[in-house]
Structure 1
Amino acid sequence: MRERVIKAVELFNKGYDNNIICSGGGVYNKYIEADIMDNFVESLGIPNSCLIKENKSRSTYQNIQNSIKIMEDKNWSSAMVVTSPWHLRRSNYFLSKFNITYQIEKSNYPRESFYLYIITIYMGNLYNDQN
């Protein structure tokens, strides 16, 4: 989530858009993703007036569906969607089901994922060496 917010703020600061929709409800715990993202975005200097929270979603599809509803209410016809690298295909698939113009930008991989990736490669190599 952190890397997605950083990428969205970077694009906002480059002038790609005037608003950021923070989308996501409490999926696996009591924490509302939209609230956490909104607070982080504000801490990075984006004015609250440019932020919109969508905090009901519990899946990628609902994130997109509910965000598009917000866009329709505001008469917005296009979006730049920031997602995690491993969510690109899934997000693109769901976005293609709606009648909007969109561009997808991937965030960086979280540092924690990099270390998990290295461990996975190491374990795979260790397993292959033993067989």
Structure 2
Amino acid sequence: MIKLPFYLILAIFICMITGCAKFYSKYYTDPELYYTEALAKAPFDAVIVTGFPYNKGGWNATLKARVYWGIYLYEQGMVKNIIFSGSAVYSPYVESKIMALYAQALGIPENNIFIETKAEHSTENLYYSYKLAQDKGFKTIALATDVPQSSFIKSVNNKFGLDVQFIPMKYDLLKTIPKIDPEIDEKKAFEQDFVSIIEREKFRTRLQGTRGKKIKKLIKQEKTKQKKSNKKKI
């Protein structure tokens, strides 16, 4: 058995600790830390709330939590408007429209609700909603969802570089919110001639979409277009 010198063991240990710390700070959206940071920067012009599949008859726990978290931030005055994002991806109901219907049923003014209906992946939720927010003239933008998805989107946004404040769910706060299951007219969000993404795209294509391949291409095209525009001005 090979015995490593103490200093070498110590060096390996330090590398492991610092490596974990860097990973934590770069990718993990700590709810307590990010909520405190968001409070200091609030109010935001808009918050993006990402979609989740809806099945006929009622919302599931994940969808319900995301809607209520967005509503909580609005009612606390942390955000002025809510952008619900999501297309009809795995079920024939447009996710953003379903969430908007629930938000309206729970008392959020229609004028403060916006829907983004193209996104089929988390990375697209971020990008398309960000562009929608810019088109509406919103300057400060946040994104609110559960911690795992928030951390994933942040890791991708490290490459995109979009100016977004992440506000992952604080589950302790979420538990204190009184919740009801209001009735909605789900037919308003139903998409005729729906075809599931599973049938439309191969697994590899869907995986590339999740990782943001399409969005990276769009951002690259935007930068190229902007450079050409700047040259013309000169």
Tell whether the structures are fold-level matches, with TM greater than 0.5. Answer: yes
Deviation at 1:74, TM superposition (A): 2.2
- More displaced 10-residue stretch of structure 1: 27-36 or 93-102: 93-102
**Number of equivalences:** 110
Matched, 1:60 2:122: yes
Separation in structure 2 between the aligned mates of residue 40 and residue 32 of structure 1, nearest angstrom? 13
CA contact (8 A) 1:22 1:34 kept: yes
Matched, 1:9 2:76: no
The corresponding residue for 2:87 is: 25
Deviation at 1:98, TM superposition (A): 3.0
**Bigger Rg over Cα:** 2
Aligned counterparts, 1:57-96, within 5 A: 57-96=119-158
CA contact (8 A) 1:92 1:104 kept: no
Q: Which runs of 4+ in 1 moved over 6 A?
A: none
Separation in structure 2 between the aligned mates of residue 82 and residue 45 of structure 1, nearest angstrom? 19
Greater strand share, 1 or 2?
A: 1
Separation in structure 1 between the aligned mates of residue 108 and residue 115 of structure 2, nearest angstrom? 14
Q: TM-score, normalised by structure 1?
A: 0.75
Matched, 1:98 2:161: yes
CA contact (8 A) 2:87 2:96 kept: yes
The corresponding residue for 1:127 is: none
Separation in structure 1 between the aligned mates of residue 66 and residue 138 of structure 2, nearest angstrom? 21
Deviation at 1:99, TM superposition (A): 3.1
Q: Relative to 1, partners in 2 of residues 1:50 and 1:58: Cα closer, same or farther, differing over 3 Å?
A: same
Separation in structure 1 between the aligned mates of residue 162 and residue 74 of structure 2, nearest angstrom? 23
Separation in structure 2 between the aligned mates of residue 26 and residue 105 of structure 1, nearest angstrom? 24
Show structure 2 runs of 5+ residues with no match.
1-62, 172-234
The corresponding residue for 1:118 is: none
Show structure 1 runs of 5+ residues with no match.
109-131
CA contact (8 A) 2:144 2:150 kept: no
Separation in structure 2 between the aligned mates of residue 32 and residue 103 of structure 1, nearest angstrom? 24
Separation in structure 2 between the aligned mates of residue 39 and residue 107 of structure 1, nearest angstrom? 24
- More displaced 10-residue stretch of structure 1: 98-107 or 10-19: 98-107
Equivalent position amino acid for 1:102 in 2: Q
C-alpha RMSD of matched pairs (Å): 2.0
Q: For 1:106, what is the secondary structure of its paired residue?
A: coil
Q: For 1:5, what is the secondary structure of its paired residue?
A: helix
